[in-house]
Amino acid sequence: DGGITQSPKYLFRKEGQNVTLSCEQNLNHDAMYWYRQDPGQGLRLIYYSQIVNDFQKGDIAEGYSVSREKKESFPLTVTSAQKNPTAFYLCASSDLDSQYQPQHFGDGTRLSIL
Amino acid sequence: DQQVKQNSPSLSVQEGRISILNCDYTNSMFDYFLWYKKYPAEGPTFLISISSIKDKNEDGRFTVFLNKSAKHLSLHIVPSQPGDSAVYFCAASGDKIIFGKGTRLHILP
């Protein structure tokens, strides 16, 4: 059954610590995305990647880093430079064959600060 | 600067009646619009979309209307069912997808 798997579902970070959120897809999609959702807010784009070994900053990339070593995987690292990391993080993917392909989302990771 | 606006944070509708969710956008370069539905602790799921060359798209109980001159789109759900209670995100696509803040729909028994 194809889809996007995000792990862990809940994650706690100590002050000054880097944490990495996992995102894996088996949809054979070229493009992958990371969004952040805060209460009462829409989805804000952190980073996106349209091809392996290439990625671009979204609207709120500061304090985050990503890698795209495999087509299936797009991990997000929340660094200590991100001063307000508490949020719900969503990973998504889409097929680039059609410009209008809707994005498929994982079930998210909720990150909290200890 | 919000390019995609959903001005109603929440909406309550009686079961069986029509639910109308609204969305406004500012960028005339958007050429594709999408609606997503989101349950708590889950990711959004794609619901329905419309190209800017159309003014209506229908899929079962869901219809999306696009008024390009007013830069406004709406999602109609009829009849509304209890399982429709969720947060609905409007999104607009140009060179990238921009999401609205969402509208929480409550279907009342």
The 3-class SS string of B6-74 reads CCCCEEEEECCCCEEEEEEECCCCCCEEEEEEECCCCCCEEEEEEECCCCEEEECCEEEEEECCCCEEE
Residue A108's pLDDT is what? 95
Contact A99 B93 (CB under 8 A): yes
Residue A99's pLDDT is what? 60
> Does residue B96 sit at the A interface (CB-CB below 8 Å)?
yes
- Whether residue B57 is predicted with pLDDT greater than 80 in this model: the reply is yes
Integer Cα distance of A8 and A39 in angstroms: 20
Integer Cα distance of B38 and B2 in angstroms: 20
First to last CA, chain B: 38
* Mutation target among B46, B51, B95, B104 for the A interface, most CBs of A within 10 A: B46
- Whether residue A96 is predicted with pLDDT greater than 90 in this model: the reply is no
Mean pLDDT for A41-57 is: 92
Residues of A in contact with B32 (CB under 8 A): 99-100
Contact A48, A28 (CB under 8 A): no
- In chain B, whose CA is at the least distance from the CA of A45? B98
Closest CA to B52 of B74, B37, B70, B67: B67
Q: Could you read off the pLDDT of A55-95 as tens digits, one per residue?
A: 999 999 999 999 999 999 999 999 988 889 999 999 999 98
Residue A114's pLDDT is what? 81
Model confidence at B1, pLDDT cuts 50, 70, 90, reads: low
Contact A42 B101 (CB under 8 A): yes
Q: How many CB pairs under 8 A join A and B?
A: 50
Mean pLDDT of chain A: 91
Mean pLDDT for A29-34 is: 94
Residue A39's pLDDT is what? 83
